[in-house]
Amino acid sequence: MDIINNSPYALYNGNADKGKNFYLAVSSKSSSNEVIWAKDYAYPGETHFFTNNNIASSVRGDIDANFVTPVLNLVEAFEYTDDRNGALKTKTATGDYIYYNNPEELFAHKDARLYGTVIYSGADFAGTKITYQAGVRYKEGGVWKTMTAIPGTSDSKFGGIITSKDGPTTSNDMYVNKTGFNIRKFIDENKDASTRGRGSDIWFVRFRYAEFLLIAAEAGLELGKPQAELTGYVNKIRARAGIQALTTISLNDIIKERRVEFAFEDHRYWDLKRLRIAHEIWNGSADNYNAVHYALFPYKIYAPGDPNDGKWVFEKQKSSHTLYPRNFKYQNYYNFIDQNWINNNPKLVRNPYQ
């Protein structure tokens, strides 16, 4: 396709660190040759408060933080470099905890786009290491117990921090992390940008070169184009993310690729709606992983003399602040046709479910 092969735009690959490269590709105005259309801002004339609202607690410049935090479901949609199943390995097949030397070890060998999209435990942001710690697991009388506290609490009895500033917790307190992750994409690394009086001028991307490639792959699939052509488009994106190339492409592959590539760019809802699969993904069932929001709660082990002392375990759990599974009903596919429109044109027919 001429628009792809001869475009002045391209996938950004200006940073050797693939995770940081992806963050810069989308969130940096000065370095990216990938963004085609964006809603732009310029300090001091026009700013927004996405950073102020959603920054992690430990690096915030004001009282606000954690208005929107990523769920575990999204994090597990990012593959491993050698495994297409992105489920985090927190327990053995028999249900025992897997112990990690440090929290970031859990996320080793993940799709680099995860780092550029989400702040996870042990990752850095703006030069600061972000540590999510929900509590401490300790032994008392030979029995394992769990201690939690309000964010920022320490106790020398348990070796230091009980619950970190960044949580997560199940409390109802405002500005406290509830899922164990924060958004990185579109979050400004300039600390002043997280203050109420200033705001950020990071742009919001509407269309970029990567979407050219995935549109071409999806259209080609519908038209029956050769698999080699389709994988060529998608594998350019996957190579930038540092994950394995695909030899064949299905519609599900493209849906999954769009989910992780364009997370927080306002594509996911519309993708599932236009493909008429939203009611299957978000079917309202409490037994459907895709319909229920999950969180990840990290715990540090305090057990002097035990070989796992100082290590980390992780608990996957349903988000305490999403009471019901997401339920996309058939009528959500249709817009409302106002009676005044029909009065002006009686030939109009109401949409189903009106």
Q: What is the pLDDT of residues 29-63, one digit of tens each?
A: 987 789 999 999 999 999 999 999 999 999 999 99
Q: If we measure between CA atoms, which residue out of 91, 160, 98, 166 comes closest to residue 134?
A: 166
- The whole-number pLDDT of residue 114 equals 99
Residue % of the chain over a pLDDT of 70: 100
* Cα(158)–Cα(180) distance, integer angstroms: 21
The answer to whether residues 231 and 248 touch, using CB atoms and an 8 Å cutoff, is: yes
Consecutive H or E run containing 129: strand 128-129
pLDDT digits (tens, 9 = 90+) for 255-271: 999 999 999 999 999 99
**Closest listed residue to residue 262, CA positions, set 188, 211, 189:** 211
The whole-model pTM stands at 0.95
**CA–CA gap between residue 246 and residue 40 (Å, rounded):** 35
Rounded to an integer, what distance in angstroms lies between the CA atom of residue 283 and that of residue 277?
A: 10
pLDDT digits (tens, 9 = 90+) for 95-151: 999 999 999 999 999 999 999 999 999 999 999 999 999 999 999 988 999 999 999
CA distances from 166 to 50, 53, 269, 298 (A): 18, 14, 28, 11
Nearest 5°: CA angle at 46, between 44 and 52?
85
Q: What is the pLDDT of residues 181-215, one digit of tens each?
A: 999 999 999 989 999 989 999 999 999 999 999 99
Task: Tell me what percent of the chain is helix, strand and coil, each rounded to the nearest 5.
Answer: 30, 20, 50
Q: Helices 227-241 and 18-27 meet at what angle, rounded to 10? A: 100
Residue 354 reports pLDDT greater than 90: no
Burial bucket for residue 126 (CB in 10 Å: 0-12, 13-18, 19+):
middle
